[in-house]
Amino acid sequence: MLCRPLVAVGAIATAGCLPVGSAFMVAEFIVTGIMAGISFYLAHRLSKKNKQQVNLLQQDWNVNNVLSSGPDPEDDDYNQQKKNDFFEFIKLRADKKALSKRFGNFYRDSKTKLWWSKDRANHGGSKFKVFKETAKGLQWIFDADAAGNQIIGKHKGAIGLFIAYKDLVICV
C-alpha cells in the first residue's frame, strides 16, 4: 500500500511506505515511461519519413508531369467558367464520378484525367484535393486553391494520401 504517490525522476523512483513487491511497481513504472518515449520517437520518425515521401512525390509530379496543375488556361470553356464556380465547371466537364463515405464526391476531369474532390478540412487555403489514377486506387498529388491552382509546398498528412478502389463507388 502506498502512503504517497510514486514519483519517478529519470531512472530513480521514490515513494513513502512502499509495500513488499514495490520494486516490481517501480520497474513497471519506469518501463512504461521508456515505452512511451520509444513510441513518441517512432511516431516522430514515421511522420518525418511521411513528409519526405510526400515532398518527393510532389517534386516528381511537378518536374516530370506534362499535365498542368490545373485546367488549360487557353481553354475557352475554362475561361468562361472560371468567373463562375470552378468546381461546378469540373463537375460539368467530368467523364466519371466516384463516391466515398469518408471523403465525399470525386470527379474526373475528362481532359486532364485528374480526379478532383472538395477539401472538407480547408486547411492552408486548400479548397480541392487532386488525385491521379493508379492501378490500385487514387493517389493524392496536390491541393488546389479556389481557382484550381496548385498550392506548392503544402503539407499533406497520411490520411487521404491514397484511396483504394474498394473504398470508392465509381459511376460512369
Question: Rounded distance, CA 171 to CA 36, Å?
Answer: 46
153: left (phi over 0), alpha (psi -120 to 50) or beta: left
CB atoms within 10 A of CB 54: 18
Q: How far is CA 16 from the centre of its chain?
A: 48
Q: Give the tens place of pLDDT for each residue, 128-170.
A: 999 999 999 999 999 998 888 999 888 888 889 999 999 999 8
For 168, which DSSP code?
-
Backbone CA torsion sign across 16, 17, 23, 25 = negative
Which grid cell is 122?
480547408
User: Mean of the per-residue pLDDT values for the chain?
Assistant: 73
